[in-house]
A and B are shown apart, each in its own frame.
Chain A
Amino acid sequence: MQFQPLRFGALSVALWALLSVPVAPARAAGDAVVIGDIDDFTGVYADVQGQGGVEAIHMAIDDFGGTVLGRKIEVLFADHQNKPDIGASKFREWVDQNGLNMLIGGSNTGVSIAMAKVAAAKKVIFIPIGAGGSSLTGADCTPYSIHYGYDTTALANGTASDIVKNGGKTWYFITADYAFGSQLQDSATRVVTANGGKVLGSVRVPLGTTDFSSFLLQAQASGAQVLGLANAGTDFSNSLKAAEEFGITKTMKPAALLAFLSDIHSLTLQTAHGLYLTTGWYWDLNPETRAFAKRFFAKINKEPTETQAAYYSSTLQYLKAVKAVGSTDADKVMAELKRAKINDMYAKDASIRADGLMVHAMYVMQVKTPAESKYPWDYYQVIKVMSGEDAYGKEPDPSCPFLKK
């Protein structure tokens, strides 16, 4: 699926043509605060944030009042097509030509790692959301990165530890073959072994594979109790669907290391019920989340995913910080963001750690059966609420380079 030079070539030409329209070239930096969003708008992760992410940014701007420091707030967005070079070069272009002040990077750890390097070089605040790789605040951290939403450590601490403690001792992983998948598998492996479990094997599957049956047979042959799905998006739905079809879910318990509301919606409860997953947010948690979801639904006709909510929250917190320090200077705003507590509809009493990791409560959920689901999008029930420290760990990641100085 990745072998499509022509397709991507044409797509990027079309997109560049489209996206360069609303942006006036050579704008004098300083007359607007510019927020960018570079995300997967067309590929396997497009439903996780995509257009809904852009909408969430706009909602945050509206709630903030539409301007900050008396300046207009402008939003740019572009498709990285899951290609690191496209993401990084678009980021650079916006900084150089459009006076970009803050970038939200959606999905795909590989692309986010590339964009973090640009953030460090250009000294522009970069907030990856939906990219799971915990290296974004570890080996790949920068003084300008804030990892918002969740990371592979938190996902593993949620789903994996709960399943091991409930008797799922032996694991086999089906892993997306790129940075995110391997980091997720590593994190989960650490949690499984730390809790007395054992990993019997794993198979690395190319991103965008549609037929998982072969890999599932290998998983079944291992005799493991738990089928760890270290993948996401359509990779996740297709692997779970095939596991159901081949009767593998009868002998193995599937564990979704990363599943979104949009995945469960497209799989339907018939296939997904009983699944454990970890999420940073759910639309139906409390009146505040439901109020946000209602407004979001009115615009997009879907309930928001956890990362779309994180888009909203991070934009709001950024604008608050800009207002508090009275400047868009990246160093001052970063200092304020790391100092202030976060309290909004997304997270309560959350904070941003020195390494840039946003630490907040995480929820272990179980997907409801069709009978348990009472109304549309009533999909999860809360199994456990993990405190931020339990989910992400107490101390900043020691492998983060700028903390070593």
Chain B
Amino acid sequence: MTTVFGVPLPAILGQLTLGLVNGSFYALLSLGLAVIFGLLRIVNFAHGAFYMLGAFAAYIGLQAFGMNYWLALLLAPLAVALLGAVIERLFLRRLYRLDPIYGLLLTFGVALIAEGIMRNRFGASGKSYPVPHLLQGVFDLGFMVLPIYRAWVVAASLTVCAATWFLIERTRLGATLRAATQNARLVQAFGINVPLLLTATYGAGVGLAALAGVLAAPVVQVSPLMGSSLVIVVFAVVVIGGMGSIIGAILTGVLLGLIEGLTKVVYPEASNIVVFVIMALVLIWRPAGLFGRE
């Protein structure tokens, strides 16, 4: 059998495929963070909590209203985005002119409250969300069996990532957004409602997290802690990619998923720190991140 570094090739291919799956989750989550940081300068520590709330919204929708997966994919992110918009209007808005640490503390508090409420209501061990009928079953790739659902996750998140990138970097709306963050007063002078734009941006970033949550719901236990275990990794991804860089967040997300996948074969014990080792190295070598501007 062909081997690479003493590991059989099929195993490597299998792990790379899984790495791609995880990487697309990272990409989708770090994208939302990067959008929020890039445009609002808020370090959104509640991102993991919104991801968790997205998954729970899908679960509650199914249990309470029999809402199916496809509808949840649309409605859960909308509901969470709305919650995000309310939080932005009521609290975050007051912090834009202050030191970024205040935004971080506020969102961190929001995350703790959200986790606490869900834990109180649903318990720590979480709930099961079924894989939708249409996506049940597996692809046999020869070197591994890939559940159809995981393939769908990759396709869906990469599509959403590409669309978001296009929206911000290539459309008039995106240009207005970027301009608003550069010089809000000037943009406002052109008759554009900047505060509304910022609310919508935070809502959209949070909605992306919730979308990732719905995508994750059938794969992992829907539990109050599901976000807190991811958010730190996702922050590392954003830092490595360059704070605020959209394309950096997407590419780094996928790349780190792949690297983490390989680590799981070579030295599994290090799989949850490899991302941080890379972050440290990148910060030494390029303090602004791989795609960040100095």
Determine whether A6 belongs to the interface, using a CB cutoff of 8 Å to chain B: yes
Determine whether B276 belongs to the interface, using a CB cutoff of 8 Å to chain A: yes
From residue 222 to 236 of chain B, which have CB atoms closer than 8 A to chain A?
A: 223, 225-226, 228-230, 232
**By the criterion CB–CB under 8 Å, are B268 and A245 in contact?**
no
From residue 1 to 55 of chain B, which have CB atoms closer than 8 A to chain A?
A: 8, 10-11, 14-15, 18-19, 21-22
Collect the chain A residues with CB atoms within 8 Å of residue B128's CB.
241, 266-268, 270-271
Nearest CB in chain A: distance from B15 CB, A? 5
Selected from B225, B264, B272, the residue in CB contact (under 8 A) with A43 is B225
Collect the chain B residues with CB atoms within 8 Å of residue A302's CB.
123
**By the criterion CB–CB under 8 Å, are A204 and B269 in contact?**
yes
With A and B bound together, what is the CA distance between A213 and B11 in angstroms?
Answer: 12
Contact with B along A110-141 (1 / 0, CB 8 A): 00000000000000000000000000000000
**By the criterion CB–CB under 8 Å, are B124 and A47 in contact?**
yes
Contact with B along A223-267 (1 / 0, CB 8 A): 000000000011001100110011100000000000000110111
Determine whether B261 belongs to the interface, using a CB cutoff of 8 Å to chain A: yes
Residue of A nearest to B275 (CB): A3
Determine whether A218 belongs to the interface, using a CB cutoff of 8 Å to chain B: yes
Collect the chain A residues with CB atoms within 8 Å of residue B124's CB.
42-47, 50, 233-234
Stretch at the interface among B69-77, B141-149, B191-199: B141-149
With A and B bound together, what is the CA distance between A267 and B129 in angstroms?
Answer: 9
- Residue among B119, B147, B220, B228 with the most chain A CB within 10 A? B220
Selected from A11, A205, A263, the residue in CB contact (under 8 A) with B125 is A263
Collect the chain B residues with CB atoms within 8 Å of residue A7's CB.
108, 112, 228
Contact with A along B115-145 (1 / 0, CB 8 A): 0000100011111101100000010000011
Determine whether B162 belongs to the interface, using a CB cutoff of 8 Å to chain A: no
**By the criterion CB–CB under 8 Å, are A214 and B272 in contact?**
no
Nearest CB in chain A: distance from B221 CB, A? 5
With A and B bound together, what is the CA distance between A270 and B128 in angstroms?
Answer: 10
With A and B bound together, what is the CA distance between A26 and B42 in angstroms?
Answer: 44
How many residues from A make CB contacts under 8 Å with B?
49
**By the criterion CB–CB under 8 Å, are A211 and B220 in contact?**
yes
Determine whether B181 belongs to the interface, using a CB cutoff of 8 Å to chain A: no
**By the criterion CB–CB under 8 Å, are B119 and A245 in contact?**
no
With A and B bound together, what is the CA distance between A85 and B129 in angstroms?
Answer: 36
Collect the chain A residues with CB atoms within 8 Å of residue B22's CB.
211
Interface of A is mostly: helix
**By the criterion CB–CB under 8 Å, are A1 and B229 in contact?**
yes
**By the criterion CB–CB under 8 Å, are A217 and B11 in contact?**
yes
- Say yes or no: A266-B127 contact (C-beta < 8 A), given A205-B268, A234-B223: yes
**By the criterion CB–CB under 8 Å, are A217 and B125 in contact?**
no
**By the criterion CB–CB under 8 Å, are A215 and B269 in contact?**
no
**By the criterion CB–CB under 8 Å, are A237 and B232 in contact?**
no
Collect the chain B residues with CB atoms within 8 Å of residue A97's CB.
none
Determine whether B163 belongs to the interface, using a CB cutoff of 8 Å to chain A: no
From residue 189 to 241 of chain B, which have CB atoms closer than 8 A to chain A?
A: 219-221, 223, 225-226, 228-230, 232
- Say yes or no: A177-B269 contact (C-beta < 8 A), given A210-B230, A266-B128: yes
- Residue among A211, A217, A242, A268 with the most chain B CB within 10 A? A211
In the complex, 14 of the A-B residue pairs with CB atoms within 8 angstroms, ordered by the A residue number, are: A3-B232, A10-B108, A42-B119, A47-B123, A47-B125, A205-B268, A211-B18, A221-B8, A233-B124, A245-B219, A246-B147, A247-B138, A263-B125, A268-B128
Using a CB–CB cutoff of 8 Å, the interface residues on chain B facing chain A are: 8, 10-11, 14-15, 18-19, 21-22, 108, 112, 119, 123-128, 130-131, 138, 144-145, 147, 149-150, 219-221, 223, 225-226, 228-230, 232, 261, 264-265, 268-269, 271-273, 276
Using a CB–CB cutoff of 8 Å, the interface residues on chain A facing chain B are: 1-4, 6-7, 10-11, 14, 42-47, 50, 177, 203-206, 208-211, 213-215, 217-218, 221, 233-234, 237-238, 241-242, 245-247, 262-263, 265-268, 270-271, 302
Kindly list 16 other residue pairs between chains A and B, CB separation below 8 angstroms, not including A3-B276, A221-B11, A241-B128.
A42-B119, A44-B125, A46-B124, A210-B226, A211-B18, A213-B18, A213-B150, A214-B271, A233-B124, A237-B126, A247-B138, A262-B123, A266-B123, A266-B127, A266-B128, A267-B221
